[in-house]
Chains A and B, each alone.
Chain A
Amino acid sequence: MNLRGARAIYTFELSRWFRTLTQSIMAPVISTSLYFVVFGSAIGSRMSSVDGVSYAAFIVPGLIMLSLLTESVSNASFGIHMPKWSGTIYELLSAPVSWWEAVAGYVGAAATKSVLLGLIMLATARIFVPYHIAHPAMMAAFLVLTAISFSLFGFIIGVWADGWERLQIVPTLIITPLTFLGGSFYSVAMLPPLWRHITLFNPVVYLVSGFRWSFYAHADVPVGLSLAATAGFMIACLIVVWRIFATGYKLKP
């Protein structure tokens, strides 16, 4: 086992991030604030409460989930695409580093970043909304599990993409629509019956619902199902990554 190798990747990736720490922290703080000014105060004040909580408080978990997904995918895909593009990946491929050690380094670093971002957003939201967290441990579990699974997903995209444009396609064409339609800003119960059923095919619904449950103890779908869906997605991604390294798909000619 080459834990040193995994750690080298992990710290290398994080130090890249720490070089631009101010930006890294300011961006989520500003975007969260904007969301709360627009959705929470301007629009939310005209909306009745949802599921018994004020609209501003209702959107806190959804907003964090939204950022968590996009940040995880973009961090992880960038992290592995960059060396692939610049050619420095030769070193990883020639090193005594197994697939899961590489994943622990790259995906671990990306997930760490997005969890930290999620926590920063959570703290920022507190300035605008007095939300409370009913199940803190479950909240943390959802946060970490989601960050890891979508970082894995981003890692796959980063390996698969043949260029920077391709790297953007999956996030813009799939992740963003799914998150916006995943109940970040509304309760699934608010939809007409047909759409409510269609929505249940959207995996993000399970994430947002589970995460929101950990805050307000109220969910659109059963929590167990949310957890199972997240874990299932993570395992699927792990299998894909394992196959990528085993076959050298898009990594080794």
Chain B
Amino acid sequence: MSKVAPPILSARGVAKTYASGVVALSPTDLEIRAGEIFALLGPNGAGKTTLISIICGLVNASAGTVTVGEFDNVRDWRAARGLIGLAPQEIATDAFESVWATVTFSRGLFGKPRDDAYLRRLLEDLSLWDKKSAKIMALSGGMKRRVMIAKALAHEPRILFLDEPTAGVDVELRRDMWALVRRLRDSGVTIILTTHYIEEAEEMADRVGVINKGRLILVEDKAVLMEKMGKRQLTIQLQAPLRALPDDLAGYRLELANEGHQLIYSFDAKGDETGIAGLMRGLHAAGLDFKDIQTSQNSLEDIFVGLVGVGA
């Protein structure tokens, strides 16, 4: 029981240089655990889609191997592909087909026997059931994106790739999408999604990978990441505004804000000594009264900006 479950997907040394000479992906190692939600976070052109495309068989890797389940995605491509569902970044559908026709096609293409009950549940889950006979071109952009997800799930894959599932989706629908992804995860599907939105990764992911300029800079449990990298801030609301910082407190990383009504103290949450106790004594010694104190944690966004800034 103590043995760690093998990863459901692993990429080793996967790299891609396009024919144009663009190095889209430097040799990359990545392991995905069964049942997790993994968010691949990175700016435009970072190589997210390239990595996903190699795993799904849409792009030939320049180097490296990908194992899906226990199958190599080149040698045992048939078995490997059967485990994967892909909802690509660009919406691409057969405009003249009905929703129902396109999902039954997808299921058949993956060699699964017809199962109308399953497809019905799937469409209901994605709020598409009442649109099942509608032509895809008559759907809104958000609905089309859900059709893409329905197609990806039509063959009951164990791993689902969502390449920017919430691009061009309004706030409400984005919340629905998040809820859907969680339900899928609860039903045992492993989910790998890419996003530009930090809040999305923060909201949903169990683990986060940060990719920039073709390099996977970091892979970490979201919670660990936040803890490890997160700087915290202590905001002190003063009774009376200050014009300048008292000399006694010069040793602390303090800033005056809000026209002297606030003192902001930054500290490293992972350090043993936060320095808060000393600061409090210092405030007391300087005769500063305060009415409120708050601590806040840096968001993934700050971490990300820091990382990508450093990596760039």
Q: Which residues of A contact B (CB under 8 A)?
A: 2-5, 7-9, 12, 15-16, 19, 86-88, 90-98, 248, 252-253
Q: Majority SS of interface residues in chain A?
A: helix
Whether B112 contacts A90 by the Cβ 8 Å rule is no
CB-defined contacts of A4 to chain B, threshold 8 Å = 108-109, 111-113
- Residue contact B59 to A253, C-beta cutoff 8 Å: yes
In the complex, the answer to whether A86 meets B94 with C-beta atoms within 8 Å is: yes
Q: Contact: A88 with B93, CB < 8 Å? A: yes
CA A101 – CA B193 in complex, angstroms?
Answer: 30
Q: How far is the CB of A30 from chain B (nearest CB, A)?
A: 24
Q: How far is the CB of B153 from chain A (nearest CB, A)?
A: 13
User: Which residue from A12, A94, A98 sits with its C-beta under 8 Å from B57?
Assistant: A94
CB-based contact B106/A91 at 8 Å: yes
- Give every chain A residue within 8 A of B94 (Cβ-Cβ): 86, 88
* Nearest CB in chain B: distance from A83 CB, A: 8
Those of B96-127 within 8 Å (CB) of chain A: 96, 101, 104-113
A96 touches B112 (CB 8 A): no
| Nearest CB in chain B: distance from A67 CB, A | 25
Asked whether B90 lies within 8 Å of A253 as measured between CB atoms, the reply is no
Tell whether, in the assembled complex, residue B109 and residue A91 are in contact, meaning their CB atoms are under 8 Å apart: yes
In the assembled complex, which residues on chain B have CB atoms less than 8 Å from the CB atom of A253? 18-19, 59-60
**Which residue in chain A gives the minimum CB-CB distance to B104?**
A8
Q: Total contacts A to B, CB within 8 angstroms? A: 74
CB-CB nearest 4 A-B residue pairs = A8-B108, A87-B92, A2-B111, A96-B78
Of residues A15, A248, A253, which shows the largest number of chain B Cβ atoms within 10 Å of its Cβ?
A253
**Do A96 and B77 contact each other (CB < 8 Å), given the known contacts A4-B108, A5-B110, A7-B108?**
yes
Partner of B105, one of A8, A94, A252: A8
Q: Which of B79-87, B197-205, B248-256, B293-301 is near enough to bind chain A?
A: B79-87
A residues less than 8 Å from B211 (CB atoms): none
Q: Are A90 and B88 in contact (CB under 8 A)?
A: yes
Closest Cβ of chain B to A85, distance in Å, is 10
Q: Indicate whether A96 sits within 8 Å of B58 (C-beta atoms), given known contacts A4-B108, A88-B93, A90-B92.
A: no
A95 with B58, Cβ < 8 A, contacts A19-B96, A86-B94, A87-B92 known: no
Residues of A with C-beta under 8 A to B90: 87
**CB proximity of B121 to chain A, nearest CB, Å:** 20
User: Are B111 and A12 neighbours in the complex by a CB distance under 8 Å?
Assistant: no
Mask: chain B, 222-262; 1 = CB below 8 Å from A; 0 = not: 00000000000000000000000000000000000000000
Closest to A16 in B: B96
In the bound complex, what is the Cα–Cα distance between A205 and B260 (angstroms)? 94
A79 to nearest B CB, angstroms? Answer: 12
Does B48 touch A at the CB level, under 8 Å? no
- Check if A95 sits within 8 Å of B60, measured CB to CB: no
Q: List 7 A-B contacts (CB under 8 A).
A: A5-B109, A8-B107, A16-B96, A92-B109, A94-B58, A94-B81, A98-B78
B60-83 vs A, Cβ < 8 Å mask (1 yes, 0 no): 100000000000000001110110
B108 (CB) vs chain A CBs: closest residue: A8
B56: which A residues are within 8 A, CB to CB? Answer: 94
Cross-interface CB contact of B109 among A9, A19, A86, A248, cutoff 8 Å: A9
- B18 to chain A: which residues have CB within 8 Å? 253
Give the CA-CA distance A9 to B110 in the complex, in Å: 11
With a cutoff of 8 Å between Cβ atoms, the chain B residues found around residue A91 in the complex are 86, 106, 109, 151
Complex-state Cα separation, A80 to B151, whole angstroms: 19
| Inter-subunit contact A5/B86 (CB<8 Å) | no
What's the nearest-Cβ distance from chain A to residue B192, in Å? 14
**Is B88 in contact with A96, judged by CB distance below 8 angstroms?**
no
Q: Is the CB of A252 within 8 A of B60?
A: yes
Q: Is the CB of B82 within 8 A of A90?
A: no
User: Given the interface contacts A19-B96, A90-B86, does A95 sit within 8 Å of B109 by beta carbon?
Assistant: yes
Select which of A2, A3, A88 is within 8 A of B92 by beta carbon: A88
Chain A residues with Cβ under 8 A from B109's Cβ?
Answer: 4-5, 8-9, 91-92, 95, 97
Q: How far is A96 from B111 in the complex, measured between Cα atoms in Å?
A: 8
Cα(A88)–Cα(B84), bound, Å: 17
